[in-house]
Amino acid sequence: MAKILFKGGEVNTNGDLPKVGSVAPNFTLVNTGLADVSLADYKGKNVVLSINPSLDTSVCAATARKFNTTLSQLANTVVLYITKDLPFAHNRFCTTEGIENVVTLSDYRNPEFATTYGVLVQDGALKGLMARAIVVINPQGVVTYTEMVPEITTEPNYDNVIAALK
């Protein structure tokens, strides 16, 4: 269980992120076209899992915009932006914000993603949502970097994510 903060107050997740060096657990989530997408669909690519509470917050939106511009320039890399928001909200957000280089995915059909990856918030105001976290997976499916953002209301360390991809 990870202890993190939400607006300075301590909250807990259901577990821990996968360990660096481990094989990333497969999952199935839903894209904006309501189709199932799995981690296996991206085998052979660098995959950045950007896990967030909701697109309807300024920090989550800023993270999506930043990854849309910075990581889209890296070869053989895909960003999977994952929240509990419905695919309809993902589609609206991407259209409004001009997000074209990030794949948004919802776990509304497959909530086991949050528990498998250890990001399900267990208490506090965001109970039931996902903590803000990053998992970088190499083309062989091995976890090379993780970050459980210590304060949910702050952005991840973009420089560390980029460094993990080089």
Residues taking part in catalysis: 60
CA 82 to chain CA centroid, Å, is 4
Exposed, middle or buried by CB within 10 Å (0-12, 13-18, 19+), for 71? buried
Local structure of residue 58 (DSSP, 8 states): H
Residue 24 in tokens? 């990333």
What is the rounded CA–CA span in Å between residue 31 and residue 24? Answer: 20
